[in-house]
Each structure stands twice: as C-alpha cells, then as structure tokens.
C-alpha cells in the first residue's frame, strides 16, 4: 500500500523516473513484458497509485485525480512507443541477420585462389630437405659487401662484384644480395658446426629481362657442415633431391667442373632429362639439363665463420627456383612466374 505520508506528487515523479530508466534499458520482448507487469500489471505500480487515491479525501482526490489520470495516459503512451520502437528494431535485426553471408560458402563459377607455382616449388624443396634432417634458414635481401662477397671468398677485384651485375645502394657497402649463398655465412657464423640447413629467397642482378632471365629471381641454397664430409655425400644428396623433386626414381646426375669462389672443388650438376630417353624440347635434345652449382665449402669461408677447417668440412649447393619450376611444369617464360596473369596462374 502506498504510504499516505509521502506526497503523492513525489510518488508520481518517482514512478516517471523509474519508468523512464527501465524503458531505456529494455532490449527484448521478454524484458518489456516484465516491465509491463511491474508498472501496469493488475497489482503493478500504477494500480498501487490508483488504489492509494481511493483512500484520499474528496479534496485531495480533486487535486490528484487529474494528475494521476494524466500519469496513466502519458506512461501508457510511453510504454506503447517503446513497444513500437522495439518491434521495429527487432525486425531490422532479423533482416540484418538474413543479410549476413558466409564468406566460406562456395559459389559455382567463382575464381578460386591457389598457391603460386613458385611457392609450391619452394615448399617441395623444403619438404625434401626437411625429410633429410635439414633445418630451414633465412637471411636478408639487403646485404653488406661482407656477406655477399668477402666472406664468400670473392675478392675486391672479382668480376662478380661488377657494378653491372650488382644493385648497389648509395650507402657504401650496401647492396641487394646476388645469391642466397650469403645465408651460409649468416648461419655458420651464428650456429657454427655441425649444421645442415636449406634456405630459399629472392636475389637480384642487374641484367636485362628475357624469357629466361629477370633482374629479380629466387634461389635455393643448402649446406651441410660436419666432420669427414665428402663429394660422395654431396652427390648422393643431390641425386636424392632431384629424384624426389621430379618424382622420378631413375634420374641420374652428371657432374662438370664449375667455378664458384666459395667452394673447392666446385661443380655444376646436370640431371638426366626427366621427360625423355632420347632427347626432347625440354633438354634441347641433349638428354641432360643444367640445374645447379655445388661444391665443398672453401676453407676460407669456414675460417671466416670461425669454423676450423682442420676439424670440420662440408658441402654447399644452390640454384634457381624459377628454373626448377619451369622445367617441372613446362613453363617457357620466366616472366609468367613473376607476372599476374590469372589465366596462367590458375592452372596450378
């Protein structure tokens, strides 16, 4: 029952404030229904006020009667407004929910993304060497003269340093690496021996672009330094790698002498053509394809990396990733691999 001592005016004010506050926080039909019962239900707050009025004196009734009637009218109006707004809001939400879409849903005829063929080849190379116990190593594309040349036993007057081959920076001694052999030095300097690592990355050479050359391309570089490593270990590793990569168990390798200042002896490795027995367009009828450079790590390189060449030795190998991709997937222009031709890329 209403407290007669408390001014009915005050009660009307309290009712309004409370109703306003609670209406504002209502966001569902359930909450609204609860509010309706509390304020407008048969034994709700409004009924309570109305009942209290019945007990007032005739004079007071005259004063507060109209006020209470107005309160009833206005509060019910407020309630109804809220009800209408809420209905609208909830309907809008329903529509929005229906508009939400599943980004993973498949739409027929849609272009699907796929792994770039170079990424595919990089992962194939990594997988093969990981299976042989190599770790993956990485190094910077922006290099110092020391890592790109000096540490790799390439002296100041060596033609490989020629400004026509190398992109030099305005800052003296800084350049874009011309080969991933730099990673050997970073790794051996940091981790010492024994070490077996495979790395892939982009290299840069200042040269004209044609079907088989680009000024930026990718190389892989592997190296294994331990005790008593021989040329036999290198050749067996290369043969396994090429057989796995081309998925052909009968691939043979052929070795020619090759000069790379950071290996001694240095060799070039050719693979028997994975596509023919008697000569085809891939091997240009020679039955052999030139693939990579390799050799036993030069003692000067080991020394430079604080590895004692009397105790440890090892092999290193490296080559072009685009070349491997082009041979494996029958691509005849390196520029396809570096371009964004969707028709070309979606074949893989």
The yes or no reply on residue 294 touching ligand PHE (CB under 6 A) is yes
Would you say 50 or 235 has its CB closer to ligand PHE? 235
The binding track of 250-289 with respect to ligand PHE, each residue x by CB under 6 A or -, is: ----------x--x--------------------------
Residue 31, SS3? helix
Residue 10 to residue 7: CA distance in whole angstroms: 5
The yes or no reply on residue 204 touching ligand PHE (CB under 6 A) is no
Size of interface with ligand PHE, in residues (CB under 6 A): 11
Would you say 75 or 199 has its CB closer to ligand PHE? 199
Distances (CA, A) of 93 to 206, 214, 293: 59, 55, 65
Would you say 244 or 268 has its CB closer to ligand PHE? 268
Residue 32 to residue 82: CA distance in whole angstroms: 9
Looking at the DSSP bridge assignments, the partners of residue 217 are: 203
Residue 105: CB minimum distance to ligand PHE, A:
46
Residue 45, SS3? helix
The binding track of 303-322 with respect to ligand PHE, each residue x by CB under 6 A or -, is: -------------xxx----
Q: Which of 221, 244, 270, 322 binds ligand PHE (CB under 6 A)?
A: 221
Would you say 49 or 198 has its CB closer to ligand PHE? 198
Residue 272: CB minimum distance to ligand PHE, A:
20
The yes or no reply on residue 181 touching ligand PHE (CB under 6 A) is yes
Q: Which of 75, 179, 199, 218 binds ligand PHE (CB under 6 A)?
A: 179
Neighbouring C-beta atoms of residue 59, cutoff 10 Å:
8
The yes or no reply on residue 293 touching ligand PHE (CB under 6 A) is yes
Pairing of strands 174-176, 135-137: unpaired
Residue 114 to residue 96: CA distance in whole angstroms: 32
Q: Which helix (H) or strand (E) holds 220?
A: strand 216-226
Residue 248, SS3? coil
CA count, 13 A, side-chain hemisphere, 121: 23
Residues that bind ligand PHE (CB under 6 A): 179, 181, 221, 260, 263, 293-295, 316-318
């Amino acid at each position: 029952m209403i407290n007669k001592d408390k001014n009915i005016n005050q009660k009307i004010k309290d009712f309004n404030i409370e109703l306003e506050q609670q209406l504002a926080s209502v966001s569902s039909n359930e909450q609204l229904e609860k509010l309706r019962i509390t304020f407008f239900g048969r034994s709700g707050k409004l009924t309570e006020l109305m009942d209290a009025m019945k007990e007032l004196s005739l004079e007071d009734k005259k004063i507060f009667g109209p006020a209470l009637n107005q309160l009833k009218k206005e509060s019910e109006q407020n309630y109804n407004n809220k009800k209408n707004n809420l209905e609208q809001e909830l309907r809008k939400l329903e529509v929005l929910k229906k508009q939400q879409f599943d980004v993973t849903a498949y739409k027929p005829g849609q272009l699907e993304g796929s792994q770039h063929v170079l990424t595919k080849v990089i992962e194939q190379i990594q997988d093969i060497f990981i299976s042989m116990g190599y770790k993956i190593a990485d190094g910077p594309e922006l290099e110092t003269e020391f890592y790109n040349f000096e540490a790799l036993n390439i002296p100041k007057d060596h033609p490989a340093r020629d400004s026509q081959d190398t992109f030099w920076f305005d800052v003296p001694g800084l350049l874009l690496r011309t080969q991933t052999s730099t990673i050997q030095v970073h790794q051996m300097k940091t981790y010492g021996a024994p070490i077996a690592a495979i790395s892939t990355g982009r290299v840069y050479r200042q040269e004209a672009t044609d079907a088989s050359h680009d000024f930026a391309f990718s190389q892989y570089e592997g190296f294994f330094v331990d005790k008593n490593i021989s040329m036999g270990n290198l050749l067996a590793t290369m043969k396994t790698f090429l057989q796995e990569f081309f998925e052909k168990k009968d691939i043979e390798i052929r070795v020619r002498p090759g000069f790379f200042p950071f290996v001694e002896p240095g060799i070039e490795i050719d693979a028997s053509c994975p596509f023919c027995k008697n000569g085809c367009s891939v091997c240009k009828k020679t039955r052999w394809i030139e693939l990579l450079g390799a050799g036993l790590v030069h003692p000067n390189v080991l020394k430079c990396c604080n590895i004692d060449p009397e105790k440890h030795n090892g092999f290193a190998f490296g080559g072009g990733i685009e070349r491997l991709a082009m041979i494996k997937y029958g691509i005849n222009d390196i520029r396809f691999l570096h371009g964004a031709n969707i028709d070309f890329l979606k074949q893989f």
